[in-house]
Amino acid sequence: MTVHDNAGYIPAVYRFFRMHEFMDSSAIFLRRALMEKEYRTTVRARVTKHVVISLLISIILVSIVNMTYMTRRIIKGQNRELTIATELCGSQVDAWVNQIRGVTIDIADTLEADGELEKDEIIALLDEFGESHQNLVFLYVATEEGDMYMARGVTYASGVDPRERTWYKTVKETGASSIIDPYISATRPDLMLATAASPIYLDGKLVGVVGADADVSTINEYVSSLDFENGSYGFLIDSEDRIVAHKNPDYQPNINKVTSAADVIPEIKDILESKTEHGLSTGRDYNGDKVTYSVSKLENCDWRIGVAYSQKLLYKTVDRGIRISLFIAIFCAFLIAGEMTLAITRILKPIEKINPALDRILAGDFSTNLNISNKEDELGELQDKLYEIIKQLSTMISQQKSMIVEMEKGNLTVDDIPEFPGDLKETSIALNSIKETFNDIISDIQFSAINLQSFAMGINETSDIEEMRAVFEELSAEANILMEKTNRFKTVPPTYKAEDFENEEQFVADYSEDE
């Protein structure tokens, strides 16, 4: 029996290695690189999704910040415009007040220039100014002696000392022109008047006061005629914080009552108490509408003008700005998302070439050429490393294949395969060990076969029972040695066919005839 006669043992070894852990682990490693389509999403889709979400979040946050900042800027700008508008209206009221005050100053200057107070001259002068200023209810001069002269032939109320009137005492105390808060007329108790008064000096001595009265209703009409932007309305407050003119008739002064501004417009109470030149406040007006109040002090008196600006108009401007910002933000979001999607697609497109290459490798084609990227970037490095992995796997599999094929042919003298790196080291060691073990077993079987052949020839040449017993004992010892060497192998019991037993029965019968 030769080595080639025992080649039937080798196919089992080949099948064993075909199912070896190395092959399994290699297949699992490569298979994990490819996820089943129904259980995966593409890298491009995930990257695009996260980038787009990040962009949207960033744009939304930036838009919120911008809209908040823009809203504040718009409100601040509107407040500044409201302040300017209020001051402009205040300057118009100032001009009207100065016009009335100017009448009294001109009359006082004319009388001072004459050097004396003559009744006829005073009345003539008053009538002259009264004709040119029909908007004034009364125009008059009161003297230190208690005389009272009025334009247009109006008779002063009897029994009333003009020197005790507020307008006279105020000018006498201040020594300068003054604007007097609304009061009930002594001549016409049915009227509420506001007065401009100026002193008359002769030789440095106060000799009288010139007064000009304007009806409060006239003042209200004038304030209402001012151009307040976008439906806003104005109101006038005197030095005692009482309303002189207002859009709401219930707030306008009359002979029965005057209205405190702080009582009906509590939102401006702090502004009035602080006596600041200008102030802003928000609240609800008499109609329940949300408004922003702007209050400014007049330049030439202690009166204040206020403007109530509807916040609906303010919010309308803000809403328009917000809509524009949102439109720009959404447009930019779509634009950036589209650009990022195209950029990511171009960048990750080479990755799509990896799966087909790995599919060919899984099919056993280790000659696959990788052409993922021609750029020296991360994908280029990935291509180079995959190429090295495939090259090493191909080399190791080729070495194992060469050894197993030679063992199948019965060549147990084939060279050992080199030691594999890393976790594959045990595979190469185990393969070399199996080859060496089978080489020892087959060598022992060959040696035992030679001995068996020699013992059989010896038995044929002798009939001595003792000598035959010695031969069988040696055969038994050889068998025990083989059993010890093969005992660690697990085998599948052979399956016998019916014809095998028929051959055995024929062999027994033939043996009996020979005996």
Give the percent of the chain with pLDDT over 70: 78
Lowest-confidence segment of 56-60, 210-214, 253-257, 454-458 by average pLDDT: 454-458
How many Å apart are CA 246 and CA 305, to the nearest integer? 10
Q: State the total domains in the chain.
A: 3
Distance in angstroms (rounded) separating the CA atoms of residues 62 and 55: 10
User: Could you read off the pLDDT of 463-503 as tens digits, one per residue?
Assistant: 667 766 776 777 777 777 767 766 666 655 666 555 655 55
Does one domain contain both 21 and 138?
no
Q: Is the pLDDT reported for residue 74 higher than 70?
A: yes
Tell me: do 186 and 114 sit in the same domain: yes
For residue 182, name the pLDDT band (cuts at 50, 70, 90).
Answer: confident
pLDDT of residue 370: 67
In this predicted structure, what is the pLDDT of residue 459? 65
Among 184, 218, 252, identify where a domain stops: 218
How far is 211 from 137, CA to CA, in rounded Å?
11
Q: Tell me how many degrees the CA angle 160-161-162 measures, rounded to the nearest 5.
A: 110
169 and 275 housed in the same domain: no
Do 386 and 484 belong to one domain? yes
Is this prediction's pTM over 0.85? no
**Domain extent at residue 290:** 226-313
Residue 12: which pLDDT band, with cuts at 50, 70 and 90?
very low
User: Between 78 and 487, whose confidence is greater?
Assistant: 78
Angle between helices 43-114 and 216-225 (to 10 degrees): 140
Report CA 37 to chain centroid distance, whole Å.
33
Of 218, 248, 273, the residue at which a domain comes to its end is 218
Is 94 inside a domain boundary?
Answer: no
User: What is the spatial distance between Cα 356 and Cα 345, in angstroms, rounded to a whole number?
Assistant: 18
Task: Specify the CATH number for the domain of residue 296.
Answer: 3.30.450.20
Q: Can you give the pLDDT at residue 401?
A: 83
pLDDT at 363 over 50: yes
506 and 389 in one domain? yes
Long-range contacts of residues 129-132, Cβ cutoff 8 Å, at least 24 apart? 129/103
Look at residue 491 in the predicted model and tell me its pLDDT. Answer: 57
Q: For residue 196, is pLDDT > 90?
A: yes
pLDDT bucket at 172, cuts 50 / 70 / 90: very high
Burial of 144 (0-12, 13-18, 19+ CB in 10 A): middle
Say if residue 264's pLDDT is above 70: yes
Q: Are strands 278-284 and 290-297 parallel, antiparallel or unpaired?
A: antiparallel
Q: Determine the longest span between alpha carbons in the chain, in angstroms.
A: 190
pLDDT digits (tens, 9 = 90+) for 364-400: 777 766 666 666 777 777 777 877 888 888 888 888 8
* Residue 135 placed within a domain: yes
- 196 within domain boundaries: yes
Cα-Cα-Cα-Cα dihedral sign, residues 56, 58, 64, 66: negative
In a domain, 237, yes or no: yes
CA–CA separation, 221 vs 239, rounded Å? 20
Within 10 angstroms of residue 290's Cβ, the number of other Cβ atoms is 13
Over residues 142-155, the pLDDT tens digits come to: 999 999 999 988 88
What mean pLDDT is predicted for residues 164-177?
A: 92
The yes-or-no verdict on residue 328 having pLDDT over 70 is yes
Give the span between the Cα atoms of 27 and 498, in whole angstroms. 42
Interval 191-206 mean pLDDT? 91
Is residue 330 in a domain? Answer: no
What is the mean predicted confidence (pLDDT) over 346-360?
75
For residue 170, pLDDT beyond 90:
yes
Quick one: tokens of 199? 């002193």
Query: Which of 20-34, 62-76, 205-219, 314-328 has the highest mean predicted lDDT (pLDDT)?
Result: 205-219
Residue 42 lies in a domain: no
Q: Mean pLDDT across the chain, nearest whole number?
A: 77
- Residue 22: predicted pLDDT: 42
| Residue 67 predicted with pLDDT over 70 | yes
Across the range 302-327, mean pLDDT stands at 79
